[in-house]
Protein backbone atom coordinates (compact mmCIF):
# COMPACT_ATOMS: atom_id res chain seq x y z
CA UNK A 1 0.00 0.00 0.00
CA UNK A 2 1.21 3.51 -0.85
CA UNK A 3 -0.23 6.43 1.07
CA UNK A 4 0.22 10.11 1.71
CA UNK A 5 -0.35 11.89 4.99
CA UNK A 6 -1.75 15.38 4.81
CA UNK A 7 -1.42 17.27 8.06
CA UNK A 8 -3.02 20.64 8.58
CA UNK A 9 -5.08 22.89 10.74
CA UNK A 10 -8.03 22.75 8.33
CA UNK A 11 -9.62 25.87 9.82
CA UNK A 12 -11.64 25.50 7.62
CA UNK A 13 -10.82 22.77 5.08
CA UNK A 14 -11.14 24.30 1.59
CA UNK A 15 -11.29 23.13 -2.01
CA UNK A 16 -7.56 23.80 -2.46
CA UNK A 17 -6.79 21.06 0.08
CA UNK A 18 -8.91 18.51 -1.73
CA UNK A 19 -7.96 19.39 -5.31
CA UNK A 20 -4.28 19.09 -4.41
CA UNK A 21 -4.79 15.89 -2.41
CA UNK A 22 -6.62 14.15 -5.24
CA UNK A 23 -4.13 15.40 -7.85
CA UNK A 24 -1.25 13.96 -5.84
CA UNK A 25 -3.05 10.70 -5.33
CA UNK A 26 -3.60 10.35 -9.07
CA UNK A 27 -0.12 11.45 -9.99
CA UNK A 28 1.65 9.03 -7.62
CA UNK A 29 -1.00 6.32 -7.91
CA UNK A 30 -1.57 6.21 -4.16
CA UNK A 31 -4.12 4.04 -2.39
CA UNK A 32 -4.95 6.55 0.32
CA UNK A 33 -4.65 10.13 1.44
CA UNK A 34 -4.92 10.41 5.22
CA UNK A 35 -5.96 13.85 6.45
CA UNK A 36 -4.53 14.52 9.87
CA UNK A 37 -6.05 17.49 11.67
CA UNK A 38 -3.56 19.02 14.08
CA UNK A 39 -4.84 19.07 17.63
CA UNK A 40 -2.50 21.88 18.56
CA UNK A 41 -0.42 23.08 15.58
CA UNK A 42 3.03 24.22 16.86
CA UNK A 43 3.59 26.93 14.21
CA UNK A 44 0.16 28.47 14.81
CA UNK A 45 0.35 28.15 18.57
CA UNK A 46 0.05 31.49 20.31
CA UNK A 47 -0.42 33.43 17.06
CA UNK A 48 -4.14 33.26 16.75
CA UNK A 49 -7.06 31.37 18.14
CA UNK A 50 -7.61 28.08 16.36
CA UNK A 51 -11.19 26.80 16.04
CA UNK A 52 -11.91 23.91 18.46
CA UNK A 53 -10.89 20.55 17.10
CA UNK A 54 -14.44 19.13 17.19
CA UNK A 55 -15.55 21.67 14.55
CA UNK A 56 -12.46 21.26 12.38
CA UNK A 57 -12.91 17.49 12.49
CA UNK A 58 -16.62 17.69 11.65
CA UNK A 59 -15.88 19.86 8.59
CA UNK A 60 -13.18 17.47 7.43
CA UNK A 61 -15.57 14.56 7.80
CA UNK A 62 -18.09 16.30 5.56
CA UNK A 63 -15.46 16.74 2.84
CA UNK A 64 -13.80 13.35 2.90
CA UNK A 65 -16.98 11.28 3.02
CA UNK A 66 -17.45 10.95 -0.73
CA UNK A 67 -13.95 10.06 -1.84
CA UNK A 68 -13.11 6.41 -1.25
CA UNK A 69 -9.40 7.23 -1.22
CA UNK A 70 -9.68 9.85 1.49
CA UNK A 71 -9.66 9.06 5.17
CA UNK A 72 -9.20 10.96 8.41
CA UNK A 73 -6.58 9.92 10.90
CA UNK A 74 -7.23 11.25 14.40
CA UNK A 75 -3.81 10.31 15.72
CA UNK A 76 -2.87 13.88 16.77
CA UNK A 77 -6.20 14.35 18.54
CA UNK A 78 -5.75 11.14 20.50
CA UNK A 79 -2.15 12.04 21.36
CA UNK A 80 -3.13 15.52 22.59
CA UNK A 81 -0.56 18.20 23.41
CA UNK A 82 1.38 19.97 20.68
CA UNK A 83 1.11 18.13 17.36
CA UNK A 84 4.61 17.38 16.15
CA UNK A 85 4.76 15.90 12.64
CA UNK A 86 7.77 13.68 13.36
CA UNK A 87 5.85 11.89 16.12
CA UNK A 88 2.82 11.45 13.88
CA UNK A 89 4.83 9.98 11.02
CA UNK A 90 6.63 7.52 13.29
CA UNK A 91 3.39 6.44 14.94
CA UNK A 92 1.64 5.87 11.60
CA UNK A 93 4.59 3.85 10.30
CA UNK A 94 4.61 1.74 13.44
CA UNK A 95 0.86 1.17 13.43
CA UNK A 96 0.71 0.23 9.75
CA UNK A 97 4.10 -1.43 9.47
CA UNK A 98 5.09 0.91 6.64
CA UNK A 99 8.54 1.78 5.31
CA UNK A 100 9.84 5.10 4.04
CA UNK A 101 9.41 4.21 0.35
CA UNK A 102 5.63 3.89 0.51
CA UNK A 103 4.89 6.83 2.75
CA UNK A 104 4.55 10.41 1.55
CA UNK A 105 3.79 13.58 3.49
CA UNK A 106 2.15 16.45 1.63
CA UNK A 107 2.93 20.10 2.37
CA UNK A 108 2.17 23.34 0.57
CA UNK A 109 5.10 25.50 -0.54
CA UNK A 110 4.46 27.99 2.29
CA UNK A 111 5.17 25.15 4.70
CA UNK A 112 8.35 24.33 2.78
CA UNK A 113 9.56 27.90 3.30
CA UNK A 114 9.38 27.41 7.07
CA UNK A 115 10.19 23.70 7.06
CA UNK A 116 13.59 24.11 8.72
CA UNK A 117 11.85 25.53 11.77
CA UNK A 118 9.81 22.34 12.18
CA UNK A 119 10.71 20.16 15.16
CA UNK A 120 13.29 17.53 14.06
CA UNK A 121 12.91 18.42 10.38
CA UNK A 122 15.97 16.40 9.32
CA UNK A 123 14.43 13.31 10.85
CA UNK A 124 11.13 13.92 9.06
CA UNK A 125 13.04 13.83 5.76
CA UNK A 126 14.50 10.44 6.68
CA UNK A 127 11.18 8.90 7.72
CA UNK A 128 9.12 9.58 4.57
CA UNK A 129 9.06 11.38 1.23
CA UNK A 130 7.94 15.00 1.33
CA UNK A 131 5.77 16.11 -1.59
CA UNK A 132 5.36 19.84 -2.16
CA UNK A 133 2.34 21.51 -3.76
CA UNK A 134 3.32 24.94 -5.07
CA UNK A 135 1.04 27.78 -4.07
CA UNK A 136 0.67 30.83 -6.35
CA UNK A 137 3.71 33.15 -6.42
CA UNK A 138 6.00 30.49 -4.96
CA UNK A 139 9.62 30.68 -6.11
CA UNK A 140 12.40 28.28 -5.25
CA UNK A 141 14.90 31.09 -4.69
CA UNK A 142 15.30 31.64 -0.98
CA UNK A 143 14.95 27.96 -0.12
CA UNK A 144 18.17 26.16 0.76
CA UNK A 145 19.46 23.86 -1.97
CA UNK A 146 19.97 20.96 0.44
CA UNK A 147 16.27 21.05 1.30
CA UNK A 148 15.14 21.37 -2.32
CA UNK A 149 17.15 18.27 -3.18
CA UNK A 150 15.33 16.22 -0.59
CA UNK A 151 11.72 16.97 -1.50
CA UNK A 152 9.52 16.10 -4.43
CA UNK A 153 7.79 18.74 -6.54
CA UNK A 154 4.90 17.55 -8.69
CA UNK A 155 3.26 19.37 -11.53
CA UNK A 156 -0.02 20.18 -9.84
CA UNK A 157 -2.57 22.94 -10.25
CA UNK A 158 -1.76 26.05 -8.22
CA UNK A 159 -4.85 26.97 -6.29
CA UNK A 160 -5.24 30.49 -4.95
CA UNK A 161 -7.16 29.82 -1.76
CA UNK A 162 -6.25 29.69 1.91
CA UNK A 163 -8.14 29.16 5.15
CA UNK A 164 -7.05 32.64 6.25
CA UNK A 165 -8.70 34.19 3.21
CA UNK A 166 -11.90 32.24 3.83
CA UNK A 167 -12.06 33.21 7.50
CA UNK A 168 -11.58 36.85 6.52
CA UNK A 169 -14.29 36.61 3.90
CA UNK A 170 -16.74 35.18 6.42
CA UNK A 171 -15.89 37.96 8.86
CA UNK A 172 -16.48 40.59 6.17
CA UNK A 173 -19.65 38.91 4.88
CA UNK A 174 -18.10 38.31 1.44
CA UNK A 175 -18.77 35.45 -0.94
CA UNK A 176 -17.15 32.13 0.06
CA UNK A 177 -19.39 29.57 -1.64
CA UNK A 178 -16.98 28.50 -4.36
CA UNK A 179 -13.98 28.10 -2.08
CA UNK A 180 -15.49 25.47 0.17
CA UNK A 181 -17.92 22.56 0.08
CA UNK A 182 -21.58 23.67 0.33
CA UNK A 183 -22.16 21.52 3.41
CA UNK A 184 -19.10 23.09 5.08
CA UNK A 185 -20.52 26.51 4.25
CA UNK A 186 -23.77 25.54 5.96
CA UNK A 187 -21.86 24.10 8.93
CA UNK A 188 -19.85 27.32 9.39
CA UNK A 189 -23.00 29.41 9.29
CA UNK A 190 -24.92 27.14 11.61
CA UNK A 191 -22.15 27.22 14.22
CA UNK A 192 -21.24 30.87 13.60
CA UNK A 193 -17.57 29.92 13.35
CA UNK A 194 -15.98 32.91 11.70
CA UNK A 195 -18.11 35.82 12.73
CA UNK A 196 -16.48 39.14 13.55
CA UNK A 197 -15.95 39.32 17.31
**Which residues contact ligand ATP (rule: CB under 6 A)?**
8-11, 16-17, 20, 107-108, 110-111, 133, 135, 159, 161-164
| Alpha-carbon gap, residue 35 to 12, rounded angstroms | 13
- Residue 56 vs 99, nearer CB to ligand ATP: 56
User: Which residues are bridge partners to 7 per DSSP?
Assistant: 36
- Residue 94 vs 147, nearer CB to ligand ATP: 147
**Nearest distance from residue 133's CB to ligand ATP, in Å?**
4
- Residue 153 vs 191, nearer CB to ligand ATP: 153
In this structure, what DSSP letter does residue 139 have? -
Asked if 7 contacts 21 with a C-beta cutoff of 8 angstroms, the reply is no
**Nearest distance from residue 97's CB to ligand ATP, in Å?**
26
Alpha helices in 68-114 (DSSP H): 75-79, 85-96, 109-113
- Residue 47 vs 190, nearer CB to ligand ATP: 47
- Residue 46 vs 97, nearer CB to ligand ATP: 46
**Nearest distance from residue 91's CB to ligand ATP, in Å?**
19
Residue nearest to ligand ATP (CB): 108
**Nearest distance from residue 54's CB to ligand ATP, in Å?**
16
**Nearest distance from residue 8's CB to ligand ATP, in Å?**
3
> Which long-range CB contacts under 8 A does 38-41 form with residues at least 24 apart?
38/7, 38/8, 38/9, 38/76, 38/83, 39/76, 39/77, 39/79, 39/80, 39/81, 39/83, 40/76, 40/80, 40/81, 40/82, 40/83, 41/9, 41/83
Amino acid sequence: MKMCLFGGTFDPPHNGHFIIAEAIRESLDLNKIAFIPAYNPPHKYGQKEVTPIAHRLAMLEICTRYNEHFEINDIEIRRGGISYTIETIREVKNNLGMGCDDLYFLIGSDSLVEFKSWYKWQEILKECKIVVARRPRFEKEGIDADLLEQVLFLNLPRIEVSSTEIRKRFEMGQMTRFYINDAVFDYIQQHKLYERK
